[in-house]
Amino acid sequence: MKKLINDPKSVVDESVQGFGQAHADLVTVSADPTYITRKDAPVSGKVGLVSGGGSGHEPLHAGFVGRGMLDAAVPGAVFTSPTPDQILPATLAVNSGAGVVHIVKNYTGDVLNFETAGELAEAEGVNVRTVLVNDDVAVEDSLYTAGRRGVGGTVLVEKIAGAAAERGDGLDAVASIGERVNSNVRTMGVALTACTVPHAGSPSFDLAEDEIEIGIGIHGEPGRHRIAMENADGITDRLLEPVLTDLRITSGDKVLLFVNGMGGTPLSELYIVYRRAAQVLADRGVAVERSLVGNYITALEMQGCSISVLRLDDELTELWDAPVHTAALRWGV
Amino acid sequence: MKKLINDPKSVVDESVQGFGQAHADLVTVSADPTYITRKDAPVSGKVGLVSGGGSGHEPLHAGFVGRGMLDAAVPGAVFTSPTPDQILPATLAVNSGAGVVHIVKNYTGDVLNFETAGELAEAEGVNVRTVLVNDDVAVEDSLYTAGRRGVGGTVLVEKIAGAAAERGDGLDAVASIGERVNSNVRTMGVALTACTVPHAGSPSFDLAEDEIEIGIGIHGEPGRHRIAMENADGITDRLLEPVLTDLRITSGDKVLLFVNGMGGTPLSELYIVYRRAAQVLADRGVAVERSLVGNYITALEMQGCSISVLRLDDELTELWDAPVHTAALRWGV
Amino acid sequence: MVLDVNWTVKWLTLCAQAMAEHRVELIELDRAIGDSDHGENMDRGFQAVLDKLSDSPPETPGAALKLTAMTLMSKVGGAAGPLYGTAFLRAATSLGDSPEIAPAAWAGALTAARDGIVARGKAEPGDKTMVDAWTPAAEAASQAAADGSPDALTVLVAAAEAAEAGAVATDPLVARKGRASYLGERSAGHRDPGAASSALILRAAVKAAA
Amino acid sequence: MVLDVNWTVKWLTLCAQAMAEHRVELIELDRAIGDSDHGENMDRGFQAVLDKLSDSPPETPGAALKLTAMTLMSKVGGAAGPLYGTAFLRAATSLGDSPEIAPAAWAGALTAARDGIVARGKAEPGDKTMVDAWTPAAEAASQAAADGSPDALTVLVAAAEAAEAGAVATDPLVARKGRASYLGERSAGHRDPGAASSALILRAAVKAAA
Ligand SMILES: Nc1ncnc2c1ncn2[C@@H]1O[C@H](COP(=O)(O)OP(=O)(O)O)[C@@H](O)[C@H]1O
Ligand SMILES: Nc1ncnc2c1ncn2[C@@H]1O[C@H](COP(=O)(O)OP(=O)(O)O)[C@@H](O)[C@H]1O
Ligand SMILES: [Mg+2]
Ligand SMILES: [Mg+2]
Ligand SMILES: [Mg+2]
Ligand SMILES: [Mg+2]
């Protein structure tokens, strides 16, 4: 394992410190317990947005703290959801009185820890709503009752719910916009290589030079099945098809197409995937109205990508376009 | 070699096509010969900025085409400088009559091909100035007469010269701002792993699990020396020291600190490096006034990073802060 | 053997030792069907428990377990943190503030812990989770405690052995809860890491009494 | 053997064949001290030359070389593109529009090519570049051409052998020009890829005459 780190145990702390220093104009970093808040939090009258989860998915979530997106991010250890004693103070710190929305990726650990923190916050008089993100079509939830994972769609939920909060929507409205995004987005991912969790020291799975994992999440876990390596167009088709089917995308639909890198794949390859996906959508009469290409929700240095499709309506498009000013996503300001 | 590609020979074309589709609001992609121009080029009265070089460094250069930065980018094959028959039409396409500045990284191939294109453009009546970027302190140019390479500093030259052009500076003024940036920036890089050029199919060098290459460029070439793996702080010190020495940074200086990923290193690690570098600068009384952390000039999927320090003055800071709207760098708009 | 607060602290100390010793093994189990963090999480959590125990020494077994619950809840994270946190909290509650744990109380504590895990995680036996260690452990302890007038050690041993057998029995199962469930059929053939750490915890209880 | 336009076209065709055959080898040489693209660049360039030659068949050796120069310039890229482009352009100019290349004219063309490379790249012999193949080749051809009344083949062979020896002689050198110079001392012990491709080009000239 070769990494630009000092000690596996200090990876998250040091990285978050560096993040805070590099973006001191945008965020405040609280240590012990660790969480990151928007510099001007709490924003008077605004619903607060808190997300969090295990580290190792950067820029998610800290990179999305700022105007028009999250008010706070709560990073756990690498691939380990944060604890209520982090989530609670972050929730309190961004509550202006208008209540707080927790955006939670659907993993047992995240759900349980946010649930506890939410109860504790309610006990302290904060209204909390939870938006559960579970956009991963690789998991067939009928059989496997932990349900689908929250993956690429999380970025879109955070951006769009963040815009709704910024324009002044109330607590229930922000949560319901978040849920609307979640029910209109699906994602599927592929890994070309594994990743190495710093404290584990060896790759999360072993993959031969001619094999890839289809249906992976963002935690270096193996996928649903392993297949022989294919070319980019073939892989793109494999990822896109179940997404479109599950979302029942039909001719005339307007969508946002999000090609996300898992951390170790060059941007140039993501655009090759984007090209094919855009082509397939065009062939089916689907209008790609917005796009996002890059490393936004990652699994350390894993090579691979995920494709997310979000069905747009006018309001979602408007909220997507609304100004956002965070370390990792910025426009209109 | 596992990559999200279809055919090594079509990597650049397909990637550029995908890029053009994903950013159709910003750029126009011309095929055969391949180059990318700002959507509204030529901008009346504005000096045109053209850069280019081998592909494999994405988002450089195409990701920097747009308002406030480049007017055109000319991508060659992977790690191969583009040819005059691409550079010339790109130059003509962005010339509004105010002349064109070529921003050229100092590699023999880039220099020769841009030189020829510049002569051909001059023959067609376009005034061309060239800004040569050579910020890599790993190369001791006294001994090795090809001179220093253009690396991380290129991004800063493109941004700041781009802002100068956007505010209406004349041809010589834009070129001289670009040169001022170049003479005030130094960079040094490290590789933890090699990268694999698609048409070559095997890693650009072999590195043991406990070795790193210090003083690498951005083409997967081996560095100046190979050392045993160290921790992030140690590596950061090794990169930063020669940069600061060569640039004669002293207490009271104001700088921009740029920690750049080589493509395959997680963002979290770049922030760990940033943290240490910021600490060292603070200890020396140097004020880090601006920062940039991310994958901006890469070597495919190489793991590693480079550290650039740019000495700022008020004008450079103002130009850095000026609005920019490109696929990979955006603020103020 | 009396299961008093000294025994409880010794048990928790041996838990911390077991997690440190088996850290890599638990990471490896989680690597196969999860995300490689279980050993790290448990080790971090129980080291924090040790610190807490020496900072503010508890007066009763129940107090020790409550302190453990709160610490695990705030230091472990992931799925295991809240689940073990709830388990220890329910066990603490079931023990109240009595100075000693009678064999039947131990069985009751294990049952409360198991019920807490099920309440939080909604897993059933056979879902390939830590429930598959706690359920047989609670049952074996209850049975041993009901069996005449057993000494404490017998009950502890019964629970530990049942937990160990339960952990081994997760090997062929297809996971239906937790992270391993995302693998579908591919989760079969690997031991559940949470069941394995549960067995270590209950084995430490035996060692503390030995 | 008459070095007319047919020979020239055959030479260039054999160049393309040599680049395709030695593509991997040239990539490997460049991988060691450069950026792994030389074989790919030369292969792409000469395949384009083949296309051009069949699209618009040249009438004279000079015309064939000019077409080659323009094609390499626009298809090879990198350092080698402009350098080989200039080399072929200067050679073409030195041959003018004569229908045949006399032995002395061949030596003159090689000298012009070498001078063009030096003019563009500013490398000196010993800098570990393609100049280290072209300089001995031009000199050997000149000497052979001056040596009584040699036949064409003798001059071609002299140039090819000198280029090959020159390429081999780059092995121990420390690069002072081009990308390999960034490696400093570490560039020693490897053959310069451009010198190697130059030797292939001049060997193809011999084969075309065989
Ligand atoms: N719903 C659940 N009910 C009971 N136990 C569970 C549940 N989900 C997960 N677990 C247990 O948690 C263990 C994983 O813990 P850990 O690796 O620390 O957390 P995470 O899965 O969040 O990475 C599993 O091996 C399993 O025993
Ligand atoms: N200044 C120079 N003068 C002469 N030849 C040079 C010079 N620089 C590079 N070369 C030649 O070019 C070859 C490299 O070509 P190539 O790999 O295609 O281009 P690049 O170095 O741009 O990747 C070197 O092996 C060397 O022979
Ligand atoms: Mg985890
Ligand atoms: Mg090259
Ligand atoms: Mg785990
Ligand atoms: Mg090369």
Q: Is B269 on the interface with A (CB under 8 A)?
A: yes
Q: Could you report the per-residue pLDDT of B97-119, keeping only the tens digit for each?
A: 999 999 999 999 999 999 999 99
Q: Is the pLDDT of residue B141 over 70?
A: no
Q: Spell out a b/e string for A233-253, using b for 16 or more CB atoms within 10 Å of the CB, else e.
A: bebbebbbebbbebbebeeeb
Query: Cα–Cα distance between D144 and D202 in angstroms, integer?
Result: 15
* Total Cβ atoms within 10 A of residue D205: 28
Please say whether the beta carbons of B91 and B49 come within 8 A: no
Q: pLDDT category, C90, cuts 50, 70, 90?
A: very high
Ligand 6 (single-atom ion) residues, CB below 5 Å: D 30, 34-35, 37-38
- What length does chain C have? 210
Q: Which residues of B touch D184 (CB under 8 A)?
A: 140, 143-144, 224
Answer yes or no: are the C-beta atoms of D134 and D117 closer than 8 Å. yes
Q: Please state whether B276 falls in left (phi above 0), alpha (psi between -120 and 50) or beta.
A: alpha
The share of chain D scoring above pLDDT 90, in percent, equals 94
β-pair partners for A133: A105
The average pLDDT across D174-192 equals 92
**Best mutation site among C36, C42, C83 for ligand 1, i.e. most ligand atoms within 8 A of its Cβ?**
C83
User: Collapsing DSSP states into helix, strand and coil, what is residue B53?
Assistant: strand
Per-residue pLDDT at B198: 96
Phi, psi of A257 (to 5 degrees): -110, 125
Q: Residue B97: left if φ>0, alpha if ψ -120 to 50, beta else—which one?
A: left
Question: What pLDDT is attached to residue B196?
Answer: 96
What's the average model confidence in pLDDT over B35-39? 98
Give the pLDDT score at A200.
Answer: 92
**Residue C148 half-sphere exposure toward CB, CA atoms < 13 A:** 4
Alpha carbon of C83 to ligand 1 centroid (Å): 8
Q: What is the pLDDT of residue A143?
A: 56
What is the average pLDDT across A155-169?
98
Q: How far apart are CA B218 and CA C74, in angstroms?
A: 44
Asked if the model's pLDDT at residue A133 lies above 80, the reply is yes
Question: pLDDT digit string (tens) for A24-81?
Answer: 999 999 999 999 999 999 999 999 999 999 999 999 999 999 999 999 999 999 999 9
Q: Do B333 and A332 touch (CB under 8 A)?
A: yes
Q: Does the Cβ of D38 fall within 6 Å of ligand 2?
A: yes
Cβ atoms of C205 and C181 within 8 Å: the answer is: no
Distance CA D89, CA A88 (A): 74
Q: Could you give the CA distance from residue D51 to residue B80 in angstroms, rounded to a whole number?
A: 21
Q: Which of C35, C187, C192 to mutate to test the interface with A (most CBs of A within 10 A)?
A: C35
Tokens encoding D111: 């000298």
Is the predicted pLDDT of residue D129 greater than 90, yes or no?
yes
Please give the pLDDT value at position B16: 98
Q: Give me the pLDDT at residue B100, please.
A: 98
| Structure tokens belonging to residue D123 | 């490398």
Cα–Cα distance between D198 and D162 in angstroms, integer? 11
DSSP letter string, chain C: --B-HHHHHHHHHHHHHHHHHTHHHHHHHHHHHS-S-HHHHHHHHHHHHHHHHHHS--SSHHHHHHHHHHHHHHHT-TTHHHHHHHHHHHHHHHHTT-SSB-HHHHHHHHHHHHHHHHHHH---TTSSSTHHHHHHHHHHHHHHHHSSS--HHHHHHHHHHHHHHHHHTTTTPPP-SSGGGGGGGGGTTS--HHHHHHHHHHHHHHHHH-
Q: How far apart are CA A287 and CA A290, in angstroms?
A: 9
Confidence of residue A144 (pLDDT cuts 50, 70, 90): low
Annotated domain spans of chain C? 5-209
Answer yes or no: A325 catalytic.
no
Q: Is the pLDDT of residue A146 over 80?
A: no
Confidence of residue D207 (pLDDT cuts 50, 70, 90): very high
**Secondary structure (3-state) at D47:** helix
What is the rounded average pLDDT for all residues in chain B?
96
Average pLDDT over residues A121-143: 90
Q: What is the pLDDT of residue C150?
A: 84
* Minimal CA separation from B329 to chain A, in Å: 9
Task: Let me know if B225 is a catalytic residue.
Answer: no
B222 half-sphere exposure, CB direction, 13 A CA radius: 19
User: Domain A185-324 carries which CATH code?
Assistant: 3.30.1180.20
Q: Is A63 on the interface with B (CB under 8 A)?
A: yes
Task: Look at residue B143 and tell me whether its pLDDT is greater than 80.
Answer: no
Q: B126 with B95: CB under 8 angstroms? A: yes
Ligand 1 atom closest to the CA of C78, numbered from 1: 22
At B134, give phi and psi (nearest 5°). -150, 70
In this complex, the residue of D35, D81, D177 whose CB is nearest that of residue B221 is D35
**Chain D residue at shortest CA distance from B142:** D176
Annotation: CATH topology of D5-209: 1.25.40
Whether C132 lines ligand 1, by a CB cut-off of 6 Å, is no
The pLDDT confidence band at residue A141, using thresholds 50, 70 and 90, is low
pLDDT tens track for B245-267: 999 999 999 999 999 999 999 99
In 10 A of CB A87, how many CB atoms?
30
> Between vectors from CA A203 to CA A266 and to CA A190, what angle results, nearest 5°?
45
Each residue of A238-285: pLDDT tens digit?
999 999 999 999 999 999 999 999 999 999 999 999 999 999 999 999
Place B142 in a pLDDT band, splitting at 50, 70 and 90.
low
Mean pLDDT lowest among A283-297, D7-21, D124-138, D139-153: D139-153
Q: For chain D, what is the mean pLDDT? A: 96
Q: Whose CA is nearest to atom 7 of ligand 2?
A: D178
CA neighbor of C143 nearest in space, from C98, C176, C110? C110
Two tokens, residue A53: 């989860």
pLDDT band at B224 (very low <50, low <70, confident <90, very high): confident
pLDDT at residue C184, as a whole number: 86
Maximal CA-CA distance, chain C: 47
Chains B and A touch (3+ CB pairs under 8 A): yes
Q: Which atom of ligand 2 is nearest to the CA of B109?
A: 22
CA of C39 to the centre of ligand 5 (A): 8
Q: Both tokens of residue B67?
A: 């308002």
Token digits of residue C122:
């909604």
Please count the other Cβ atoms lying within 10 Å of the Cβ belonging to residue A208: 10
ipTM score of the complex?
A: 0.95
Q: Which residue has the tokens 């937790």?
A: C178
Residue B144 scores a pLDDT above 70: no
Res D90 pLDDT > 90: yes
Cα(A42)–Cα(A48) distance, integer angstroms = 7
Provide the 3-class DSSP secondary structure of residue D95. Answer: helix
The conformation of residue B222, written as its DSSP 8-state character, comes to -
- CB contacts < 8 A, A to C, total 123
Pick from C77, C121, C175: CB nearest A113:
C77
d(CA B90, CA B35) in angstroms, rounded, equals 6
Chain D residues touching chain B at CB-CB below 8 Å:
27, 31, 33-37, 40-41, 44, 73-83, 120-122, 127, 175-179, 181-184, 186
> In the structure, what pLDDT confidence band is assigned to residue D148 with cuts at 50, 70 and 90?
confident
Task: Map out the domains of chain A as residue ranges.
Answer: 10-184, 185-324
Ligand 1 touching residue C139 (CB < 6 A): no
Asked whether the whole model's pTM tops 0.90, one would answer yes
User: What percent of chain A is predicted at pLDDT more than 70?
Assistant: 98
- Top residue of A7, A11, A80 to mutate, by most chain C CBs within 10 Å, is A80
Closest ligand 2 atom to residue D117 Cα is 4
Residues of C within 8 A of A221 (CB-CB) are 33-35, 179, 182-183
Minimum CA distance residue for ligand 2 atom 22? D78
CATH superfamily membership of B10-184:
Dihydroxyacetone kinase; domain 1 (3.40.50.10440)
